[in-house]
Structure 1
């Protein structure tokens, strides 16, 4: 795997990097948030391991930055404390796991293996029903064999929901991913959700709201 490790404790950074290299992974290790942005924009990784308290750009802001463009690559947040607000912010912003210092390397390894076993293959066509499917690679909705025209934000929203199918996606994740770095329009998420629901137009309900939290797209087995 290609892993980006961002940790400003040099000793811990070196220890984690050497351990993962020994296991056969390719590691890019950094100690600074600014440098991380450059690497994130120029390379593709299979996993991110990010400490919260790093110089210049903290780990939570890096997490949000990554999730604006990539909702599926696993991210593990590491920290010296379990402050409730940091914990809540990390999960609301899309982290996959959270590990407190000090920790055993074997514990980190177990968490990595668990996340990677669930990693989503986005090259699939998702079958929503007998007559509806979604091409994740090209972000195309196909209904009765015909491609349905979607606006950009509808495509991004549907893609995000299907990447997390049967799981709730928070409102914050939707805003960051769908609107990217734009100044958000006076266009509420609920209206965008309602517009997307109308696209299916077959009387079957797929998108459900978790009040105060977000939305999930359900596909029955």
Structure 2
């Protein structure tokens, strides 16, 4: 899942980015509202962590932009504005959650996880595809209680394909959701991770669930449920 942190406190922004990347998320950062609008125009984000007190463009204006042009993107307001009226206004403008500074990082993680799992439809935490089970809480894949060890990127690719099962997903779309802006979209990074993912699944479980559609992308077939 790809996240955007919109926070003008550099130390807090860097700390959140590091912590969330350790949890397997792809993370971009904006230090002001103007750059946030730019990032939102060129990238797709599953969730935005949004401060309200921003330079150049106010956080509430960024919030309105997100709800107008990217209604499926989840939003957590992270702000020192603590009055009930301010919290109500943020939620009325379309935010999905509101966390007051200072906050506990563990609580933020739970709120992110809950919102992402509610994206589009309520997804179960255990998703079966073919003979395998994807555990979205533990971020592991298993078969008959045997767990497959994947890197964060390998798991992210597999999870996104499972969530979009039956559809051919382009390399560009996978990169947009699993990587941050640091990746070169023309590099061989995605092909390398997909190849490694397919090899691990075959060696551990002797099944093929991810198919490459030449010139189009990758797919997990609907038939893998049967």
Q: TM-score range by the shorter chain?
A: 0.5 to 0.7
Aligned twin of 1:96: 96
Aligned twin of 1:28: 28
Q: Pick 1 or 2: higher relative contact order, CA cutoff 8 A, min separation 6.
A: 2
Aligned twin of 2:108: 108
Deviation at 1:104, TM superposition (A): 1.1
Deviation at 1:88, TM superposition (A): 1.8
Aligned twin of 1:83: 83
Aligned twin of 1:64: 64
Aligned twin of 2:151: none
Deviation at 1:72, TM superposition (A): 2.2
2:55 alignment partner, SS class: coil
Aligned twin of 2:207: none
Structure 2 residue runs of 5 or longer lacking an equivalent are 122-226
Work out the number of aligned pairs and report it. 121
1:76 alignment partner, SS class: strand
* Within-5 A mapping of 1:111-126: 111-121=111-121
Aligned twin of 1:51: 51
* 1:82–1:100 contact (8 Å) kept in structure 2: yes
Aligned twin of 1:41: 41
TM-score (norm 1): 0.53
Structure 1 residue runs of 5 or longer lacking an equivalent are 122-221
* Within-5 A mapping of 1:1-221: 1-121=1-121
Deviations along 1:154-176, one digit per CA (max 9) or x if unpaired, are xxxxxxxxxxxxxxxxxxxxxxx
1:4 alignment partner, SS class: strand
Distance across 2 between alignment mates of 1:117 and 1:38: 26
* 1:77–1:90 contact (8 Å) kept in structure 2: yes
Deviation at 1:34, TM superposition (A): 0.6
Deviation at 1:24, TM superposition (A): 1.2
Distance across 2 between alignment mates of 1:60 and 1:83: 15
The runs of at least 4 consecutive aligned structure 1 residues that moved more than 3 Å come to none
Distance across 2 between alignment mates of 1:85 and 1:57: 21
1:53 alignment partner, SS class: coil
Deviations along 1:33-70, one digit per CA (max 9) or x if unpaired, are 11111111111011100001010111111001110122
